[in-house]
Structure 1
Amino acid sequence: MSKTQYHVQTLAETFNPKLNALNAVRLLLAISVIVWHSFPLTGQPRPAPAVTQLLGEGGVDGFFAISGFLIVSSWMRRPQWWAYLKARALRILPAFWVCLIVTAVVIAPLGVLLSHQAFPHTYVADAASYVVKNAGLRITEVGIAGTPTNVPYPGVWNGSLWTLWWEFLCYLGVLALGLTRLIRLRLTMPAIFVACLMGVVLADMGAVNNFYLVNGARFGLMFAAGALIYQFQHLVPARWSVVASAAGLTAAASLLPDYRVIAALPLAYLVITIGARVKVRRLRLSNDVSYGTYIYAFPLQQLLASAGLYVIGVPLFAIAATAITLAVASLSWYAIEKPAMRLRRSRARTSEAARAVLDRV
């Protein structure tokens, strides 16, 4: 056999930034979060521990892994702090702020009406507080004037937004590593991954129970796993057989008290490599509704629960919630997210044009 017949295509050779299915993978992860939330929001008991780990935490963990891969890639391609920070802020904040306002002004009032409850006399003030106090990404208020009520999971309008603060902290961590040039050192990401892994293990043992340390270790571990996949993409094979092995290892790890101890890297490899290898143009999803799906799903599920639809059971409730969430997420994409991204690109083009003019002077 010729030498080329032994060549194994790597992830770096497989991944095409303009033709991949990572947006489709993220959308599936967001839908998995809808399915998971359909259990507590309909008052049903949690499924088996293994399913709880994969369905209840795997969706968000997969998001962080993909973010680690893409965000580190973004910095390495264009290591400019202002452009980087502006791009991250424009991608997350405008749609997030609108979601807070829509929840306070539209979704929550509809929920109160559908649950046949009187509006609390403090509703207007509490709604304003909900928007203002949560606007900095760190969620400090989850309900509005005690609503929603008469639902299986009362007092919480959006139980998903709290993870965005951790996501943005990871972005700032990449920025700090980039500005100090530590991100270019070969041992930096492995060291961060090991440190976060140790934090997860200590948390599982009960040696660490601080909220910030526990969640910082969890989300940092998954983000660092994606970053590691990016760093060693020239060595990582992109084969379906390895994908299958990673899926099997992740599933087996779900039998442990914390599947991430074993499955952090396999899960990161799984979601990133599937996204890289699937090159069906219809699955490219240039219109990325995954973020809108994630931020709107919980309040819309609570709206359905306020209408009494929690009695239809988890499968039908999840299907109904997914349908309405995708519709609202599409509006978020076309009305808020896509224009914000155009703003980012238009400013970049303006800067490049200005530099070109100066170069000719």
Structure 2
Amino acid sequence: MDRNGVVVARTCFRPHGGWGYASGALGRGTLGAGPRVLLTSRREARRRRRSTAAAPPPEHGWAPEVESAAASGRAPGARRDRGHLRRDDHRTADTVSPVSTPSGSRGGHPWPVQVTRDTIGSRFDHGPNALSFLRLLLAAEVVAWHSYALRGDTWLPERLATVVGDIGVDAFFALSGFLVCRAWVGRSGTRAFVLARARRIFPGLWTCLLVTAFVIAPLASAVAGMPQLTLAGQLQYVWSHADTWATQGEIDGTPVGTADRGWNGSLWTLGYEVACYVVIVASGAARVLRPGVLAALAFLFWTVSLELALTVPGGGSWAPPRFGLMFTLGALLWMQRDRIPFSRLWCALATVCIVVGAFTPDYRVMAAPAVAYLCIVGGTALGRYELLVLRHDLSYGTYIYAFPIQQAFLMCGVTLTWVGFVSLSLATVLPVAAVSWYVVERPALPRDRRRDPSPAGSYVPAAS
């Protein structure tokens, strides 16, 4: 019983495959009333119990008899007629569904009941998340894959190498769809949305192009004994990538001695990311950004991917349907977040889908929804660990600077094992990414997004 005379009871149960708490309360002097039920996480249950002990009961929660009678328009102490359980039409976790007590029960006032499923929305909207940490982890995976590809290694089986090279980028597109759709729904205006996307991508990109053309490439060429780079070639390189659609990867015939002849093979996906932004803005402005439309688009992209996988060798990696499918699935997860369970069973099934899909010509045909689901659920579940809830985002700088740094190492004749090369690449690029964040990216963000940029949208990392 709390300080207001409210009897509080709780129990633990497992509906829909997820663990949670059922916290209940009985009104003051009410022995026959039933519980108020809320499915939530352990951390949220503890927080609610602490707030309950420190604050008076809410107006429409388990209020005392006088408040409940005043809200229902009857005199205190009067009995209510026999009622029935009415499910609330809303899907949010803050909505209360009233239940009337039988006329013969003691106490006489209703017991409000609230039932919330353990869904992606209930976890993501009411607790911290580790999506920034997950993005950094995916960026490191891309660095590891590029270390394998740029060195010309071939020790992975071909089909496994394809999956490892694609899954990091696919996961980024799913995260981007989820967060960008969220940003559009919560926007303060179309102009503000567009400016926020531009301020997240272009300042860091343009700075990286200048650093690559005028610092990294000249130093690597000098160490490798190459002729001095020309100003025209350097400016042409910067200009060709400035709009996110890369058309020139070389600078005066460099780099050399690597498996890729471009200085930054991580930038070509940015154009498709911007194209996805345009689709979100256009469909949102036309008022057709709805779950049904997103599901139809996802099915269209899936059909094209299936046709390409069956008829064209390697056709499943064609960028438009590949990126469109993953981005649309991420956006659909956001729109339906209050209906999709947050379940360990679903995570296990998604993992099985990815493993089985790895043995097919295009793993996305079977596992694209599984990848998107695991990304969102994993990033949300890791939010329980405070150490992983990052307030600063180094993943963007990691992905845009890693490729030219790796190319420079290879031009300079660095010969290490794969593990050694990955370690050297990450040890070099993470400080550079930190400087990029604190000096360029963070100051360019809106003031309300500088501490936690993840709600403002995402980006897509290096391609495989």
**TM-score over 0.5 (shorter chain):** yes
Q: Which has the higher contact order (CA 8 A, sep 6+)?
A: 1
Q: Distance in 2 between matches of 1:234 and 1:259?
A: 27
What percentage of aligned pairs have identical amino acids?
A: 37
Size of the alignment, in residue pairs? 340
Which position in structure 2 is the counterpart of 1:355? none
Determine the C-alpha separation between the residues in 2 that align with 1:55 and 1:78: 35
Q: Which residue of 2 aligns with 1:187?
A: 292
Q: Distance in 2 between matches of 1:17 and 1:118?
A: 58
| Structure 1 equivalent of residue 252 of structure 2 | 145
Distance in structure 2 (CA, Å) of the matches to 1:207 and 1:312: 36
CA deviation profile, 1:51-89 (whole Å, cap 9, x unmatched):
313320101100000001010011111262101100000
What's the secondary structure of 1:157's corresponding residue? Answer: coil
Instruction: Give, in whole Å, the separation in 1 of the partners of 2:329 and 2:291.
Output: 14
Determine the structure 2 residue equivalent to 1:200.
Answer: 305
CA distance in 2, matches of 1:338, 1:108: 26
Following superposition, the deviation at residue 343 of structure 1 comes to 5.2
| 2:324 equivalent to 1:220 | yes
* Counterpart residue identity of residue 15, structure 1: F
Q: Secondary structure at the match of 2:374?
A: helix
Q: Provide the C-alpha distance between the structure 1 equivalents of 2:260 and 2:343, rounded to a whole number of angstroms.
A: 46
Contact 1:199 1:214 in 2 (8 A): no
Is the Cα–Cα contact under 8 Å of residues 314 and 361 in structure 2 kept in the other structure?
no
Unaligned runs of 5+ in 2: 1-10, 19-117, 451-464
Asked if 1:229 corresponds to 2:333, the answer is yes
Q: Is it true that 1:276 corresponds to 2:385 in the alignment?
A: no
Q: Distance in 2 between matches of 1:17 and 1:323?
A: 35
TM-score (norm 1): 0.88
- Native 8 Å contact 1:144 1:155 kept in 2: no
* 1:345 CA displacement: 5.5
Which residue of the partner structure matches residue 48 of structure 2? none
Instruction: State yes or no: 1:105 paired with 2:191.
Output: no
Residue of 367, 371, 391 corresponding to 1:263:
367
- Give the CA deviation at 1:207: 6.3
Gaps of 5+ in 1: 347-361
Residues 110/91 of structure 1: CA separation in 2 closer, same or farther (3 Å cut): same
Q: Distance in 2 between matches of 1:159 and 1:74?
A: 28
SS of corresponding position for 1:234: coil
2:400 counterpart of 1:295: yes
Q: Deviation of residue 6 (structure 1)?
A: 2.5
Paired residue type of 2:409: L
Alignment partner, residue 84 of structure 1: 193
- Residue 126 of structure 1 and its aligned partner are, at CA, apart by 0.7
Cα pair distance change 1:18/1:111, threshold 3 Å:
farther
Question: Based on CA coordinates, which of the two structures has the bigger radius of gyration?
Answer: 2
What is the rounded CA distance, in whole Å, between the counterparts of 1:289 and 1:14 in structure 2?
24
1:203 to partner: Cα distance? 2.1
* Aligned residues of 1:139 and 1:161 also touching (Cα < 8 A): yes
1:69 is the counterpart of 2:178: yes
Specify whether residues 42 and 3 from structure 1 end up closer, same or farther in structure 2 by C-alpha distance, changes over 3 A only.
Answer: closer
Match of 1:118 in 2: 227
Query: Are the counterparts in 1 of residues 357 and 367 from structure 2 also a CA contact under 8 Å?
Result: yes
Match of 2:107 in 1: none
Question: Paired residue for 1:13, among 116, 122, 128?
Answer: 122
Question: Separation in 2 of the partners of 1:274 and 1:172?
Answer: 28
Q: Report the equivalent of 2:238.
A: 131
Give the C-alpha shift of residue 202 in structure 1.
2.2
Q: Which amino acid counterpart does residue 202 of structure 1 have in structure 2?
A: E
Which contiguous aligned blocks of 4+ residues in structure 1 show a shift greater than 4 angstroms? 2-5, 207-211, 343-346
Distance 1:166 1:46, change over 3 A: farther
In 2, Cα distance between the equivalents of 1:264 and 1:299?
A: 30
